[in-house]
C-alpha cells in the first residue's frame, strides 16, 4: 500500500538497508493498521545524479513516501511518523556529519527531508484490490479466508501476512477489536 523510496547520496550497506526498511515498515504498520506485507521500501542511489537544493547543486538524503491519506489518519499521526522515520535514519546511518574514507569526503549522513504524499487513488497488490485509507480492518476481515487459503497452499507472503494480522490483533470479532475484548474481559476501559 505505501511505497517508500529512500534516496541516498551516501553509501548504505545491506545491513543498513535491511534495518532501515524494517524500521520504516514497523513505524508505518503500527501507526496505522496496514499489514507489514504491503509496506514497500526501495532504495535509489542519488550520489551520481545532479541534485539541486535551494537552487544550489548539493547532494542529500531523503525519504519519500506515496501513501493513502484520508480522514481516519490525522495530521499529527503523519507528523509523528515523519519525525520517527528521521530518528530511525539517524540511528541506522549515524550522526549527521560528513564522513571520510581513504581521505575522500563521502557526503553528509544527515537526512535532508521526509516527504509523504497522499495521492494513492487505487491499487492491486498480490492479487487483492487495496482498501481506502482507514479501511484496512474491514478489508482484512473480508479477505482473511483468501489469505489463509493461500497461506495453507504454501504462499510465504500470505503466511507472513496471516501471522502479522494475528500477532497484532487486527482481526475484529463481533465488531470488537482484540484490545476491546481484553478490556471487556478485565473490566477496563469502556467496559468498566
- Phi and psi for 152 in degrees, rounded to 5? -65, -25
- Each domain of the chain, given as residue ranges in start order, spans 1-123, 135-192
pLDDT at 105 over 60: no
Q: What is the mean pLDDT of the segment spanning 35-41? A: 93
Q: What is the pLDDT of residue 26?
A: 94
Residue 117 has pLDDT above 60, yes or no: yes
- pLDDT for residue 92: 94
Q: What is the pTM of this model?
A: 0.74
Average pLDDT over residues 104-129: 80
Instruction: Pick 21 or 128 by higher pLDDT.
Output: 21
CATH 3.40.50.300 matches 1-123: no
Amino acid at each position: 500500500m505505501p511505497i517508500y523510496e529512500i534516496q541516498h547520496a551516501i553509501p548504505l550497506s545491506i545491513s543498513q538497508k535491511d534495518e532501515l526498511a524494517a524500521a520504516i515498515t514497523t513505524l508505518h504498520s503500527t501507526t496505522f493498521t496496514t499489514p507489514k506485507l504491503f509496506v514497500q521500501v526501495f532504495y535509489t542511489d542519488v550520489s551520481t545524479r545532479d541534485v539541486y537544493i535551494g537552487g544550489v547543486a548539493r547532494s542529500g538524503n531523503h525519504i519519500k513516501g506515496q501513501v493513502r491519506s484520508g480522514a481516519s489518519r490525522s495530521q499529527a499521526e503523519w507528523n509523528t511518523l515523519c519525525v520517527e522515520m528521521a530518528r530511525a535514519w539517524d540511528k541506522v546511518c549515524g550522526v549527521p556529519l560528513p564522513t571520510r574514507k581513504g581521505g575522500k569526503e563521502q557526503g553528509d549522513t544527515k537526512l535532508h527531508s521526509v516527504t509523504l504524499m497522499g495521492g494513492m487513488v487505487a491499487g492491486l497488490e498480490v492479487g487483492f484490490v487495496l482498501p481506502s485509507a482507514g479501511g484496512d480492518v474491514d478489508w482484512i476481515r473480508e479477505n482473511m479466508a483468501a489469505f489463509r487459503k493461500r497461506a495453507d497452499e504454501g504462499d510465504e507472503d500470505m503466511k507472513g501476512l496471516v501471522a502479522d494480522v494475528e500477532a497484532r490483533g487486527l482481526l475484529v470479532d463481533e465488531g470488537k477489536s482484540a484490545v476491546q475484548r481484553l478490556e471487556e474481559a478485565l473490566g477496563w476501559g469502556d467496559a468498566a
